[in-house]
Amino acid sequence: MNLLDQIISWVSPAAGLARARHRLQLDQVRRYEGAAHGRRTDSWLTRSTSANAELQLALPKLRDRHRDLVRNNGWVLRAKQAVVAHTIGHGITSKLRANKTAQKRWNAWANSTACDADGRHNWYGLQALIWGTVFEAGECLIRRRWRRPEDGFAIPMQLQVLEPDRLDHSKTELLDSGRIVQGVQFNAWGQRIGYWLFPEHPGDLIGVAAASEFVAAADILHIFRQDRPEQVRGVPWGAANIVTVRDMDDCEDAFLFRQKIANCQVGVIYDENPQAPQGQNQPAMSEAFQPGRFDYLRPGQKIAFNTPPPASDINPMLRHYLLRIAMTYGITYAALTGDLTRVNFSSGRMGNIDMGRNITQWQWLTLAPQLLDPVVAWFGEALAMTGMAVRDLIADHGMPRREMIDPGKEIAAIVAAIRAGLTTLPAALRELGEDADELLDEYAATNAVLDKLGLKLDSDPRNGTAKASKSGARSKRRVTTRAKSRPAAAAKAA
């Protein structure tokens, strides 16, 4: 109540009460229901903390629990496989905007295990490993390792993929020249200048506990999907689903246990006439049932067979859970479960388009700026160390091809778009996951061989065009001939 309200209430309590009542009603009209206090929201506890403050205590436990789900829950494991398969596929290629020599050396390095510090994966295998780690743990670290000339590598650089546990999560402090947030050090401008890493994985059983060490940001790539401004660390993708998936596991286990108990108990034997004499010559019914077996009951005994609960009771609930899991991870229900019973061409295409938008965002908004472009830049620095004069390398990335649902219709639509000028042949080839330059060069080489041998194939588009041109020319000649013959015919008729 402000000063004016107090004066009005002192002069006229009725007027003051009416004023207060109208003010309360106005507040009720203006408020947001989600911010109101009442029975429905009293137990809703929220905090105005930053993303980093929320992750300070929660991140290690979220990471551990999500990893446990990936290990022990088949649905979450399948979600990880689907996300990696659709985003990375057989690998994201890079076309360097430089001379052909640089491209050849990139291809040789990327297609060999010489790019991996562990010597197990080529560049495309590392992409799948990195993206799977981002899905499972929320983030992944890549450390650049320089090699000496005597080590025998054509490119003196390798990539070491590290789990985010290597970051000293407990190291958060203010510095005179900046700050450290959960192991990531910033300068006064807020730029990342380094990372505090443990020499060994802190979860190794044979490792020796050691203090974290500073590594310059120039040699580290920190890959994660950033959901909030100023967020420093990544969150496991299934954070919103951890409790839900755990509950689904418990429900499945309880249902299966109930089915086992119900099916083990075949029936109950009871006496209708407990006073009836027991027959000595009739065998009692056995307690265990076997196929093809006949048994007898004693006089006065009857059996009531058990009716197990139907297994279909759990299907609607499981479908609801699986839909929720699929939506949380940004994939379709069909991609998660492989269940295509309710999918037709239209629904399948719409689902793939929606999932495709998520995949495109992951590829171009996270992988390209945080992983693909920096590794190409690192490669350019490594080439310079070998004595090759190259400028800052820039690459065009070719994302993996997405399979078509109906190739006949979709290819026809692409051809129509090219002919209408809505796109170009190289652009269409890139959307299909092909390298336009390599494919066109291969076409030119193939056509040269066919021309040299004098071969004409139906698969050669030039033959179709030539036939169409000849056919058009013949039609034009026929039309001209007919036009010329009409006056002569008219004169003859006259």
Decide: residue 251, CB within 10 A, 0-12 exposed, 13-18 middle, 19+ buried: middle
Q: What is the pLDDT of residue 239?
A: 96
| HSE-up (13 A, CA, CB side) for residue 312 | 0
Q: DSSP states of 27-86 as a string?
A: HHHHS-GGG--STTTTT-------HHHHHHHHHHHHHHHHHHHHHH-HHHHHHHHHHHHH
Confidence category of residue 289, pLDDT binned at 50, 70, 90: low
Type and span of the H or E element at 414: helix 407-419
Picking from 408, 407, 414, the residue whose alpha carbon sits closest to that of residue 431 is 414
Average pLDDT estimate for 181-209: 91
- pLDDT at residue 253, rounded to an integer: 85
Question: Which residue, 166, 172, 180, is CA-closest to 210?
Answer: 166
Rounded CA separation 429/311 (Å): 49
- Pairing status of strand 93-96 against strand 267-271: unpaired
Give the Cα-Cα-Cα angle 260, 265, 271 (nearest 5 degrees).
165
What is residue 315's predicted lDDT score, i.e. its pLDDT? 83
The Cα–Cα gap between 78 and 85 comes to 10
Residue 336 and residue 325 in contact, taking contact as beta carbons nearer than 8 Å? yes
| Residue 196: strand pairing partners | 214
Q: Do residues 155 and 240 make contact, with C-beta atoms less than 8 angstroms apart?
A: no
H-type alpha helices, 192-314: 242-264
For residues 320-331, average pLDDT: 94
The token pair that represents 41 in the structure block: 């929201």
pLDDT band at 80, cuts 50/70/90? very high
The proportion of the chain whose per-residue pLDDT surpasses 90, expressed as a percent, equals 53
Q: For residues 413 and 107, what is the distance between their CA atoms, to the nearest angstrom?
A: 33
More confident residue, 490 or 203: 203
Rounded average pLDDT over 145-155: 95
Residue 63 clears pLDDT 80, i.e. is over it = yes
Identify any residues that bridge with 223 across adjacent strands, giving them in sequence order: 140
Above 90 in pLDDT, residue 212?
yes
Mean pLDDT estimate for the chain:
85
Tens of pLDDT, residue by residue over 242-267, are 999 999 988 888 888 777 776 665 66
DSSP line for 443-479: HHHHHHHHHHHT---TT-HHHHHHHHHHHHHHHHHHH
pLDDT band at 349 (very low <50, low <70, confident <90, very high): confident
| Bigger pLDDT: 295 vs 113 | 113
pLDDT at 108: 97
- Distances from the Cα of 114 to the Cαs of 8, 141, 337, in angstroms? 84, 19, 37
Q: Is residue 299 a contact partner of residue 280, using CB atoms and an 8 Å limit?
A: no
| Statement: residue 295 has pLDDT above 90 | no
- Extract the tokens encoding 15: 């007027």
Phi, psi of 220 (to 5 degrees): -130, 135
pLDDT digit string, tens, across residues 428-477: 888 887 878 888 889 899 999 999 999 988 877 777 654 444 444 454 45
Residue 485 has pLDDT above 70, yes or no: no
pTM: 0.79
Contact in structure between 162 and 152 (CB atoms under 8 Å)? no
> Is 139:221 a contact under the CB 8 Å cutoff?
no
- Which parts of 73-154 fold into alpha helices (H)? 74-87, 100-110, 123-137
- 378-411 pLDDT tens trace: 999 999 999 998 878 899 898 988 888 778 888 9
Say whether pLDDT at 269 is over 50.
yes
Mean predicted confidence (pLDDT) in 211-224? 97
Q: Identify the pLDDT of residue 252.
A: 85
Q: What are phi and psi of 372, to 5 degrees?
A: -65, -50
